[in-house]
Amino acid sequence: MAMSSASKGCITLLGSAIFLVLFVKGVGTIARWAGRTAGPKPTPAPTMTAAEIIREQARQRDAAWRKEKLREVIARQRAEAAHEREAAEAAWLETPAGLVWQDHRGWSREDCRLIADGKLHLGFTEEQCVAAWGRPDSTRRSINPGNTTALLCYGQFCKSALYFVDGRLLRIEQ
């Protein structure tokens, strides 16, 4: 069965129209999915009266003023907190522990507090122990294969002794 050229033209035209409708609908859907169009047209905003406009402007000015005041309060509180930290730091530096720390910045603040109180703990270096208890009455050192030992004696007949291995306090005898 042979088709006439007019029939072929109608079928081609009808096919093109269907393709065009499907293509446009598909592109619109894809664009909405991508967020490029909002879909149906938005409804226009209701018109505002002059009084409503004035109230809205006043509300916006009030909100901006409150936000600015809040920023000022936060900035003031931060400045006060920084000042308090600086004052606390200055006060701590005047304490005995702070004075020790100023001379030995590599030592922890807790170690400096212990040293200022004349207390020791295992793991202190000889320098820290001397800072806490003062110069020993006698010192004995020995170098052995693999380690170095030291004994710091305090008092007559070594009443208190500090034993060090490789420069760290290992034992306290009193």
86-106 per-position pLDDT tens digit: 999 999 899 999 999 999 989
Across 68-78, b (16+ Cβ under 10 Å) vs e yields: eeeeeeeeeee
Phi-psi region of 167 (alpha: psi -120 to 50; beta: other; left: phi over 0): left
Work out the average pLDDT over 21-25: 51
Class (C level, CATH) for 96-173:
alpha beta
51-84 per-position pLDDT tens digit: 888 899 999 999 999 999 999 999 999 999 999 9
Over 80: is that where the pLDDT of 2 sits?
A: no
pTM of the model: 0.56
Per domain, the residue ranges of the chain are 96-173
